[in-house]
């Protein structure tokens, strides 16, 4: 099937959507550039994270952004910093303008259909910066087309999606970086190395506070309600075809309505049709650091216990993820981490409790016990565990892995999948009312049938994983 410049009306066609994913893993070979070459990068998803990652990629002299993609053409309310004064604009047109201003030319292509990106043989790598429900479908298609992938967190909507992504990543051999940028931050690496090397003594407990999801209601000007609109608000200029593409595999609301309260910037996280709620949003970061510190990044815990949440108070057909939650993550050696929302924890970050003193780490800050006040990474002995150290930004770490197959990025697909699995398990317990489960990380299955039944999600409108 020739996908290039397809009629955009096909975006809502189930047959066309399914047809793309018949591409086998034996498709286009992966291009590894010479040191003297530059790679062409496309950005899929033109909101806040897309802008941040794109800006860093453009500053890397080994890359050039040649294409930007989003169903939304131009919107002032499209990202964390949404406002009505148009100080910050999202969508494919503003992104194209940013790219062309940076390079001083008009060579950047803008498209509303991400399949154009996948079908473009000149594109070597993609940044997937979309709503969560698109990640797996796009990443798998890109890898099968021989393109290297940087995919934002939370990596997936389900455990089954993650496993499939890992299979394709391994088979195709592409460079893959999960957007868990804390792994490229010195304070988190330092904290993980101190725990991993026993500098705190026998550390057996940790508390993790996960921040409230961005822009739940007030900051972006939207009330948290479920008003259905038959016409698109003036701040979101969409055609019906573009709206179908934005929704993609998500189940449509009745009459294909748009709901400003849930489809506005970032609040889509609160519906299980397009996101996973607050827990995986920050769990993808802080639980990932826990796994890194414990050396379980390719495995996982043995149990999830003591699950509580306010789901009964917050759940309705639109806003159906909890605001408040708590659960314990239990490992084979007896280590226990309590994970809860930041209001309950009293902080956003990780606090490790240990005989030689407690350690707290959050973005831009690490608090070490007194005996480690002057400790620095260079004090690690050659025989001790040295964790991955990105040479620059998380994005340049991805580029390093493209140019050098021997360089393993900070958070490859398997690691990103294993970390977000814990959030998926807790969410499944919350949704099913299960308080505790035993987890077999090797087989990726629990001892509870109801939780196992939620290992994957249903996709609509003809879209498939591939």
DSSP 272-320: TTT---HHHHHHHHHHHHHHHHHT-TTS--SEEEEEEE-HHHH-SSSS-
Sign of torsion over alpha carbons 176, 182, 188, 192: negative
Bridge pairing between strands 125-128 and 148-151: parallel
- Between vectors from CA 139 to CA 136 and to CA 140, what angle results, nearest 5°? 80
pLDDT, tens digit (0-9, with 9 covering 90-100), for 108-127: 999 999 999 999 999 999 99
- Peptide bond before 184: cis, by omega within 30 degrees of 0? no
Q: Report yes or no: 280 and 427 within 8 Å, Cβ to Cβ.
A: yes
Q: Report yes or no: 444 and 421 within 8 Å, Cβ to Cβ.
A: yes
pLDDT, tens digit (0-9, with 9 covering 90-100), for 376-415: 999 999 999 999 999 999 999 999 999 999 999 999 999 9
Percent of the chain with pLDDT over 70: 88
pLDDT at 9 over 50: no
Structure tokens belonging to residue 226: 């479920």
Q: Which residues contact 464 (CB under 8 A, 6 or more apart)?
A: 17, 18, 21, 137
DSSP 144-188: HTT-EEEEPSS--SSHHHHHHHHHHHHHH---EEES-GGGGSHHH
Record the pTM: 0.92
CATH topology classification for 8-181: Rossmann fold (3.40.50)
- Mean pLDDT in residue range 261-286: 89
- Mean pLDDT in residue range 330-345: 97
CA distances from 66 to 39, 53, 109, 111, 414 (A): 9, 15, 6, 11, 28
pLDDT at 14 over 50: no
Sign of torsion over alpha carbons 423, 349, 150, 4: positive
Place 64 in a pLDDT band, splitting at 50, 70 and 90. very high
Q: Where are the domains of the chain?
A: 8-181
- How high is the pLDDT of residue 87? 60
- Listed residue (351, 330, 315, 52) closest to 210, CA to CA: 351
Q: Report yes or no: 414 and 177 within 8 Å, Cβ to Cβ.
A: no
- How high is the pLDDT of residue 410? 98
């Amino acid at each position: 099937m020739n996908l290039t410049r397809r009629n955009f009306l096909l975006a809502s066609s189930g047959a066309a959507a399914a047809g793309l994913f018949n591409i086998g893993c034996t498709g286009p070979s992966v291009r590894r550039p010479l040191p003297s070459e530059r790679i062409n990068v496309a950005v899929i998803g033109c909101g806040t994270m897309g802008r941040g990652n794109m800006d860093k990629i453009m500053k890397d002299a080994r890359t050039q952004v040649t294409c930007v993609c989003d169903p939304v053409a131009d919107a002032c309310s499209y990202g964390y910093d949404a406002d009505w004064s148009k100080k910050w604009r999202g969508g494919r047109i503003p992104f194209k303008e940013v790219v062309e201003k940076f390079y001083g030319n008009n060579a950047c292509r803008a498209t509303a259909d991400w399949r154009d990106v996948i079908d473009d043989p000149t594109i070597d790598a993609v940044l997937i910066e979309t709503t969560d429900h698109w990640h797996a479908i796009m990443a798998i298609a890109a890898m099968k087309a021989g393109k290297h992938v940087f995919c934002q967190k939370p990596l997936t909507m389900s455990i089954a999606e993650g496993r499939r992504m890992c299979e394709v990543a391994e088979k195709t051999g592409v460079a893959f970086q999960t957007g868990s940028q804390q792994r490229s931050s010195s304070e988190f690496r330092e904290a993980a190395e101190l725990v991993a090397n026993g500098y705190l003594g026998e550390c057996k407990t940790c508390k993790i506070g996960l921040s409230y999801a961005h822009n739940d209601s007030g900051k972006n000007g939207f009330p948290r309600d479920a008003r259905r609109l038959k016409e698109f608000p003036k701040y979101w200029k969409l055609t019906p075809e573009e709206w179908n593409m934005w929704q993609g595999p998500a189940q449509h609301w009745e009459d294909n309505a748009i709901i400003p309260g849930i489809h506005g910037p970032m609040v889509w996280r609160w519906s299980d049709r397009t996101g996973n709620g607050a827990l995986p949003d920050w769990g993808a970061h802080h639980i990932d650091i826990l796994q890194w510190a414990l050396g379980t990044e390719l495995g996982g815990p043995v149990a999830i216990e003591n699950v509580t949440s306010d789901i009964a108070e917050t759940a309705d057909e639109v806003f159906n993820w909890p605001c408040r939650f708590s659960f314990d993550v239990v490992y084979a050696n007896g280590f226990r981490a309590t994970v809860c929302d930041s209001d309950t924890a009293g902080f956003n970050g990780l606090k490790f409790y240990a005989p030689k003193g407690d350690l707290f780490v959050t973005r831009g800050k690490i608090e070490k016990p007194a005996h480690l006040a002057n400790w620095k990474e260079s004090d690690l002995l050659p025989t001790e565990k040295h964790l991955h150290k990105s040479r620059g930004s998380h994005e340049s770490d991805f580029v390093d892995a493209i140019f050098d197959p021997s360089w393993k990025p900070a958070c490859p697909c398997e690691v990103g999948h294993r970390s977000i699995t814990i959030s998926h398990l807790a969410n499944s317990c919350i949704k099913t009312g299960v308080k505790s489960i035993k987890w077999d990380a090797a087989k990726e299955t629990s001892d509870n049938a109801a939780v196992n039944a939620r290992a994957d999600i249903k996709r609509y409108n003809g879209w498939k994983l591939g």
